[in-house]
Amino acid sequence: MDVQWRKSSYSGGDGGDCVELARLAEGIGIRDSKNREHGHLTIPFPEFATLLSRLKQLSPAV
């Protein structure tokens, strides 16, 4: 499986603090874009959907 990692659309091009996400067979992979060699965290799909929902509730309307 060829994994395609994506940076957030909110990430700047200056190499600042960024996370990358990828769709994996077992869930969503999350890693630090500056420390890719340190591996990634995998969150199962249902838990990732819950995480996104809760983050949206916490964030102010833009």
Q: Quick check: is 4 in a domain?
A: no
Q: Quick check: is 12 in a domain?
A: no
Q: Quick check: is 33 in a domain?
A: yes
Q: Quick check: is 11 in a domain?
A: no
Q: Quick check: is 50 in a domain?
A: yes
Q: Which of 57, 34, 30, 59 is nearest to 45 (CA)?
A: 30
Q: Quick check: is 41 in a domain?
A: yes
User: What pLDDT shows up at residue 34?
Assistant: 86
The number of domains in the chain is 1
Q: Quick check: is 26 in a domain?
A: yes
pLDDT < 50: residue spans in the chain: none
User: What pLDDT shows up at residue 62?
Assistant: 56
User: What pLDDT shows up at residue 14?
Assistant: 65
User: What pLDDT shows up at residue 20?
Assistant: 92
User: What pLDDT shows up at residue 2?
Assistant: 86
User: What pLDDT shows up at residue 1?
Assistant: 66
* Cα-based torsion angle of the residue sequence 41, 47, 48, 54 in order, rounded to the nearest 10 degrees: -120
Domain that holds residue 36: 18-58
Q: Quick check: is 45 in a domain?
A: yes
